[in-house]
Amino acid sequence: MPANRQQYKNNLTLIRIWCIFASNTNIMARQSISFTEPNNDWLKNQVDNKEYTSKSELINDLIRQARKQQVQIDWIKAKLEKAENSGFTIDSKEQILAHSKSLFNG
């Protein structure tokens, strides 16, 4: 096989690998944000202590945590709204507590 044809095949292989990699990689948008000095110091401290490799990694992790927490809050709100809309009960506080504990403990 001529050298230039082999190089062509090698390049195609590299392009295929890159395409597979690129299709599985989330491309992140770049943002410029400002922090107060205490927040910037805290972020820098987390990176300096090797908790995270960069401020970007830390900020993305904080956002993921906040999004997960928001899902939980939304679930609780929905349950509360459903309960509030279902009407009142004549059960005492003690009866409600006992019933809740029995549901929780199985």
Domain boundaries of the chain, sorted by first residue: 53-106
Is the Cα torsion angle 52, 55, 56, 58 positive or negative in sign?
positive
Q: In the prediction, which pLDDT does 90 show?
A: 84
pTM equals 0.53
Q: In the prediction, which pLDDT does 105 show?
A: 82
Report CA-CA distances (Å) from 76 to 79, 80, 81, 101: 5, 6, 9, 18
Q: In the prediction, which pLDDT does 92 show?
A: 87
Q: In the prediction, which pLDDT does 28 show?
A: 74
Each residue's pLDDT expressed in tens, for the chain with a length of 106 residues: 455 677 666 666 666 666 565 555 567 788 888 999 999 999 999 999 999 999 999 999 999 999 999 999 999 999 988 888 887 778 888 998 898 889 888 6
